[in-house]
Amino acid sequence: MRADAKKNYSHILTIAREVLIEEGADASMRDIARRANVGLATLLRHFPTREALFEALLCTNLDALTQKAGELETSNSPGEAIMSWFREWMTFAQSYRGVVALMAAAHTNPDSALYASCAAVHSASARLLLRAQAEGAARADMNGDDMFGLMAALGWLVDLPSFAPRADHLVHLVTDAILTNRPGNGGKRKGGRKVVR
């Protein structure tokens, strides 16, 4: 990349972050270009789609998030890890209004620039769930898709202003549901080693 292009690239990212935080994830690309003092075509060559722009914007946040997942996998109890993970996700979800809807859509579409990032979050979630299930700390009748689905659903909900105040409580309620073995499957800790801690 040429020096002027490089400079443009990082300047665009800086401004885009500002605009998207102010206006939400569906801000106009034209608006971003305008505020960056750059031609719209220039913005779109650096980031051909909204997803591509977000991929670049989110990589910092997402790296922090997945790294956190790694830490949680070793340091905490499986149950506490699930709760912390969910809360980390909710913080991420509030980085940009509408970002979860964008990621949820990208999750289905392998061509999306956000697909890999979604997959990373998905698999981290699945790993944490599996570990909890192996220890009998999480209900056995759910899978990684369910886990990610609940995260997406609550992550989406939280950027509706009316629901944001109760978000923490809803997360508590849902993680509670994930972590408690309900009567129906409480005896099903088939493969899991007994809770030895």
Verify binding: residue 13, DNA, rule CB under 7 A: no
Cβ proximity of 179 and 131 under 8 Å: no
Q: How far is the CB of 139 from its own copies (least distance, A)?
A: 8
- Please enumerate in sequence order all residues whose Cβ is within 8 A of that of 90, keeping only pairs 6 or more positions apart, or say none: 154, 155, 158, 167, 168, 171
CB of 37 to DNA, least distance (A): 7
User: CB-wise, 4 or 111, nearer to DNA?
Assistant: 4
Exposure string of 68-104, with b = 16+ CB inside 10 Å and e = fewer, is bbeebeeeeebbebbbbbbebbbebbebbbbbbbbbb
Taking the complex as a whole, the smallest distance from the CB of residue 29 to DNA amounts, in Å, to 4
Q: Which of residues 49-88 bind its own copies (CB under 8 A)?
A: none
CA distance 111 to 55: 13
CB 61 within 8 A of CB 99: no
* Choice between 48 and 70, CB closer to DNA: 48
Q: Tell which one of 15, 25, 46, 79 touches DNA (CB under 7 A).
A: 46
CB of residue 156 vs DNA: minimum separation in angstroms? 20
Note whether 73 and 46 are within 8 A (CB): no
Cβ closest to DNA, residue 45 vs residue 172: 45
The answer for residues whose C-beta is within 8 angstroms of residue 49's C-beta and 6 or more apart is 112, 113
Task: Say if CB 51 and CB 109 are below 8 A apart.
Answer: no
Task: Please choose, out of 28-36, 110-118, 168-176, 183-191, the segment that lies near DNA by the rule CB under 7 A.
Answer: 28-36
Contacts with DNA by CB under 7 A lie at: 1-2, 4-5, 8, 28-31, 38-42, 44-46, 48-50
Binding-site ranges for its own copies (CB under 8 A): 101, 104-105, 107-108, 139, 141-143, 145-146, 149-150, 152-154, 156-157, 160-163, 166, 169-170, 173-174, 176-178, 180, 182
